[in-house]
Chain A
Amino acid sequence: MIAQGRRVITAEMVAAIEALAPRYPNRRALVLPALHIVNRELLHVPLDAVVDIAALLGLAPAEVQDTLTFYEFFHQKKPHGKVRAFVCRSIACALRGGDELLEHLCHAKGIRPYETTPDGELTIEPAECLGACDFAPCILANDDLLKNLTPEAAEIELAKPRARAT
């Protein structure tokens, strides 16, 4: 089913995607779950993976790519960092220093928003409301919500390794 030689999604990924198939009445609904499964392992979804997913789900690659590009979430050209930090910039965080936090972290790490540090450890991205306005300003770093941050505390927190289970 999948063209040999360009396969970038692994048997484990295929199994994880297929395990979800009974939940939906058609295979197109698996696109978003599949993108998440691939992204979790590869930290991005390269075009070859899009072709693989399309073949697996019986879709045209363009259909998968169409969905993928709608969500700014999936990087395509290169992997994001081992820690992906979403810095909230929406109103509740902005009122308590969210924009300043983002700027400080980018300056401290020498990268611009959406970029990854050269060692591949950390990607910093602005995010719209993280739904944690009671802890503003906040950052979502992999699975961890970092609360009530000062720029200094954020730097310390983001230097730590973080698991990513979901």
Chain B
Amino acid sequence: MTPFKPVLLEAVGVPEGYTLASYRSRGGYAPLEKILREKQPLDVVEMVKSSGLRGRGGAGFSTGLKWTFLPKDHPGPIYLCVNADESEPGTFNNRLLMEDDPHQVIEGIILSSFATRATTAYIYVRYEYPESWKRLQAAIDECYAAGLLGKNILGSGFSLDIYLHRGAAAYICGEETGLIESLEGKRAWPRIKPPFPAIEGVFRKPTVVNNIETMACVAQIARRGVEWFKSIGVPANPNNPRDPGSYGPKLYCLSGHVEKPGCYEAPLGITLRELVDHYGGGVWKGRKAKAAIPGGISMGLFTEAEFDTPLDFAGPGRVGCLGLGTAAVVVLDETVRMVDFLYNSCRFFAHESCGQCTPCREGTSWSLRMLERIRAGKGRLKDLDLLLELGNTMGMMPGSTICGLADGAAWPIKNAINKFRDEFEDTIKRTNPEGWMVTDPVPALAIVGAH
């Protein structure tokens, strides 16, 4: 494997790399100054569009294209919401960017605001990141003092304020319209779309919601150019006109049963096996891998045999996963019982379902109860079919929910049971020798003793 010199993570390990002086010494804010002096907002939109940058928050939608959905000649205000509610289990790259190189993020935000004509940007920071909060606030303060934020930035006539807004430990606030509702002071119930945020977002004004890593990518595209960005990653498939390609560097989060967990920057398209072996030092304790989450728990599971799948935007879908997601890889070694994995996944989604749509609220809750039942030795084979039925019917894709949380809850269920069915069946038969074949409705739950 050819070594890849980190760009987004350039500041990691640099003493006080999070300060304005340090960021400037690496070439930071020079591209911003040049763009504010010489370019128009549409030039920046065009730059980002032609770079092929796809949003790093999970959905992988083209960032430049998203910006073009804003109404033309809108009297304003237009808002930029930066999503730092990084809550997908296994994901922590935004934390690193905010703590170790907040100015890179802020330069990206200023450029993106200039491009979209936003005059206020809110960074929605999850409660669990107090260190990120402090570093970002200190960096914002430095920017105001240096004339990089506020009124008439560097004499360009462009004005921007950036405010931090703190979440309160709710996964759904990472969904873009959930974030908007939360920012407005309401419960974070995702909105029915359309209207999309670009037309009617926060405070009923046109709004762009972008991820922290996306902002860092914008800063690097401005500094190093579109050609540099497009030289990294996986080009669009010429036989598929709908494939926008997977360009640029990506921050892969690696955790679970590996020797060296961490956040590693690599070109999009590295395989999961390369990531684990080359960066992660292999599976821990000399054990074998059994499975891995490819991009946050809601993306589903790779079996060990699928580890050679590339982690680009198109790769995980080829082996039945939901997508690349946040590119957070969590490795499960051979000792992990898949029942326990799925229990953990179902517990997470049952806890984090916002409760707005019945299929998700009830589906996540009942899937957890079924997993509890199986773990308590009261499982029936029929439960696997019931779980799959839930998995196939809750979510945006089957059309039963407003947002994608339920799809994220469904994918681990579908992948785990379809890819490890034998193990689930063995577990159920072994732990419930008297009742595994029963198909009658479960009697009063208290009698079952599993709830």
Q: Which residues of A are interface residues toward B (Cβ below 8 A)?
A: 23-26, 28-33, 35-36, 66-67, 69-74, 86, 89-92, 94-96, 127-136, 140, 142-143, 145, 165-166
Docked CA distance A134–B90 (Å): 9
8 closest cross-chain pairs (CB), A and B: A31-B185, A133-B255, A70-B187, A71-B168, A28-B185, A129-B89, A73-B168, A90-B89
Structural contact, B341 and A131, CB atoms closer than 8 A: no
Structural contact, B134 and A166, CB atoms closer than 8 A: yes
**Which of the segments B14-22, B328-336, B362-370, B395-403 contacts the partner chain?**
B328-336
Task: Determine the main DSSP class of B at the interface with A.
Answer: mixed
Verify if B344 is at the interface (C-beta below 8 Å from A).
Answer: yes
A128-B351, A134-B253 given; A91·B345 CB < 8 A = yes
Q: Please give the distance in Å from B348's CB to the nearest CB on chain A.
A: 6
Structural contact, A134 and B336, CB atoms closer than 8 A: no
Structural contact, A95 and B336, CB atoms closer than 8 A: yes
Q: Please give the distance in Å from A50's CB to the nearest CB on chain B.
A: 13
Docked CA distance A123–B237 (Å): 53
Q: Which residues of B are interface residues toward A (Cβ below 8 A)?
A: 77, 86-92, 94-95, 120, 126-131, 133-134, 161, 163, 165-171, 182-188, 203, 253-257, 261-263, 293, 297, 328, 330, 332, 336, 340-341, 344-345, 347-348, 351-352, 354
Structural contact, A132 and B92, CB atoms closer than 8 A: yes
Residues on B with beta carbons closer than 8 Å to the beta carbon of A140? 128, 130
A33-B166, A73-B169, A128-B351 given; A133·B187 CB < 8 A = no
Docked CA distance A90–B88 (Å): 10
Structural contact, A95 and B186, CB atoms closer than 8 A: no
A33-B165, A136-B261 given; A131·B128 CB < 8 A = yes
Given A94-B344, A142-B130, 7 additional A-B pairs, CB 8 A: A96-B256, A127-B169, A128-B87, A128-B348, A131-B95, A133-B261, A136-B261
Structural contact, B184 and A91, CB atoms closer than 8 A: no
Residues on B with beta carbons closer than 8 Å to the beta carbon of A166? 130, 133-134
Structural contact, A91 and B293, CB atoms closer than 8 A: yes
Structural contact, B352 and A91, CB atoms closer than 8 A: no
Docked CA distance A25–B185 (Å): 12
Structural contact, B187 and A92, CB atoms closer than 8 A: no
Contact of B184 among A28, A130, A143 (CB under 8 A): A28
Q: Please give the distance in Å from A73's CB to the nearest CB on chain B.
A: 4
Q: Please give the distance in Å from B278's CB to the nearest CB on chain A.
A: 17
Structural contact, B133 and A95, CB atoms closer than 8 A: no
Docked CA distance A78–B169 (Å): 19
Contact of A71 among B95, B169, B297, B332 (CB under 8 A): B169
Docked CA distance A125–B129 (Å): 16
Structural contact, B91 and A131, CB atoms closer than 8 A: yes
Identify the closest chain A residue to B253 (Cβ): A133
Identify the closest chain A residue to B137 (Cβ): A166
Contact of B255 among A66, A72, A134 (CB under 8 A): A134
Residues on A with beta carbons closer than 8 Å to the beta carbon of B328? 133
Docked CA distance A131–B336 (Å): 22
Residues on A with beta carbons closer than 8 Å to the beta carbon of B256? 91-92, 95-96, 133, 136
Structural contact, A92 and B95, CB atoms closer than 8 A: no
Residues on B with beta carbons closer than 8 Å to the beta carbon of A96? 256-257
Structural contact, A90 and B168, CB atoms closer than 8 A: no
**Which of A29, A74, A96, A136 has the most C-beta atoms of chain B within 10 angstroms of its own C-beta?**
A29
Identify the closest chain A residue to B95 (Cβ): A131
Structural contact, B297 and A91, CB atoms closer than 8 A: yes
Structural contact, A129 and B90, CB atoms closer than 8 A: yes
Identify the closest chain A residue to B412 (Cβ): A91
